[in-house]
């Protein structure tokens, strides 16, 4: 599975690679989130993106703390 720096990048990947293969009923339910995200990625919250991604994948959040 690919790794991403943020939820918006992961959602963009999901829209390009998973969404097209979804059944019509699922696409219909997500159409507004897709449209909102494509118009303005900041209009869809990270919480909502996580909720959508968790329906299709196990999502692991990794935080790296680096010395200054």
Contact call for residues 36 and 44 (beta carbons, < 8 A): yes
Residue 10 lies in a domain: no
Res. 1: pLDDT tops 80: no
Res. 2: pLDDT tops 90: no
Residue 36 lies in a domain: yes
- pTM metric for this prediction: 0.86
Burial class (CB in 10 A: 0-12, 13-18, 19+), 42: exposed
**Structural domain boundaries, residue 34:** 29-57
What pLDDT is attached to residue 34? 95
CA distance 55 to 51: 7
pLDDT tens for 22-58 read: 999 999 999 999 999 999 999 999 999 999 999 999 9
What does the pLDDT average to over 9-29? 95
Burial class (CB in 10 A: 0-12, 13-18, 19+), 3: exposed
Number of domains in the chain: 1
Nearest to 7 by CA among 64, 54, 66: 54
């Amino acid at each position: 599975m690919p790794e991403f720096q943020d939820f918006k990048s992961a959602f963009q990947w999901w829209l390009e690679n998973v969404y097209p293969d979804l059944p019509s009923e699922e696409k219909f339910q997500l159409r507004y989130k897709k449209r909102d995200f494509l118009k303005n990625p900041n209009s869809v919250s990270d919480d909502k993106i996580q909720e959508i991604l968790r329906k299709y994948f196990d999502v692991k959040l990794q935080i790296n703390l680096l010395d200054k």
